[in-house]
Amino acid sequence: MNKIVVGLSGGVDSSAAAAILHHQGYEVVGLTLWLMKGKGQCCSEGMVDAAKICEDLGVPHHIVDSREVFQASIVDYLVEGYSAGVTPLPCSQCNKTVKFGPMLKYAREELGIEKIATGHYARITYDAATGRYQLLRAIDPAKDQSYFLYDLTQDLLAGTEFPLGEITKTETRKIAAEFGLTTADKPESQDLCLVESNGSMRAFLDKYIAPQKGDIVDKSGRVLGQHDGVHHYTIGQRKGLGIAAPEPLYVIELDAAGNRVVVGDRQLAVESECTVQKVNWVSVAAPAAPIRAQVQIRYRSHPVPATVIPLETAGEEKAGGTRVKLIFDEPQLSITPGQAAVWYDGDVLLGGGIIERNQLPN
């Protein structure tokens, strides 16, 4: 009988994934990572629900204390980024460093099981011609989570199954109800686990970063208002600036060193290109020449056509590894340093990385 370890958060998606695999004849072992204290699907209540699912399915359930690695890899990562004036994307970092990597390692070394599965909405295929595993968008475009998985390695893709990649969220809830899972009607998490646990991202950050009043200025340095912490803002932000102006203003730079928030009109908030660091080529090997692709610069943004240009990496490994330049066919609003840029060929995720900070336009 095939054995597989299923990562269980206590939500309906991971529960349904476990039930589907169990129904297909897999010998399922549930695994829940304890990421932090407090409420939230990944924490105490999630562990209770995950344990109940395993009890109902009649399968073993393991809990691994991952709070230390979560603190170092995610909490500290977020605090450092916001303190420096960038807006980090924790989910992709968490998927590779905290979840998939450690789960597969635990499955293989502690349980002697070669495969893991999660409730993510994405698909994995194998291309025999190139000898590479490919990461594809999920069938359900509204739930596709491939954007957050761009940093997975070939080894992680080889050892992972996504049972929900071929079905919709509606079908997932129907399956969960048919199996009588207690999570079938559980509300979906609407935000980051840290936000869910702390009430807001602002509240989370204020636990670690002391508010510091400073100036909100225009590009020429003219003071337009006051802020109570650069970490409360993000590039492209338009609402909540507290500034009266004849036209909408956007955050165009976060000057952490000078404790200034720089704002400008829409023309200053759009850019035609950006550079991306820490690039991971997923479904294809790193190209030597520019390629055309459809690029997403945010999870909920529509993919837009762009040229992906590999940059020289000599001497740059210590500064973030492989880099590319993205040149968009049309200028894009709110290209945010710290967020992920991910590029596709249709449904196939080619690669992705972290958007670097650009210099303020002259």
Which residues are annotated as catalytic? 94, 193
What's the sign of the alpha-carbon dihedral 314, 315, 321, 327? Answer: negative
Contacts of the segment 109-115: beta carbons below 8 A, 24+ positions apart: 111/3, 111/5, 111/29, 111/62, 113/3, 113/4, 113/5, 113/29, 114/3, 114/159, 115/2, 115/3, 115/4, 115/5, 115/159, 115/160, 115/161
Residue type, 238: R
H/E stretch holding 171 reads helix 169-178
The DSSP bridge partners found for residue 280 are 352
Packing angle, helices 12-23 and 44-57, rounded to 10: 20
Rounded CA-CA distance 27/57 in Å is 11
The angle formed by the CA atoms of residues 127, 133 and 134, to the nearest 5 degrees, is: 85
Q: Which two tokens stand for residue 48?
A: 């209770």
Distance of CA 57 to the CA centre of its chain: 30
H/E stretch holding 221 reads none
What's the sign of the alpha-carbon dihedral 339, 201, 189, 104? Answer: positive
- 3-state SS of 276-327? EEEEEECCCCCCCCCEEEEEECCCCCCCEEEEEEECCCCCCHHHCCCCEEEE
Q: Which two tokens stand for residue 12?
A: 């309906």
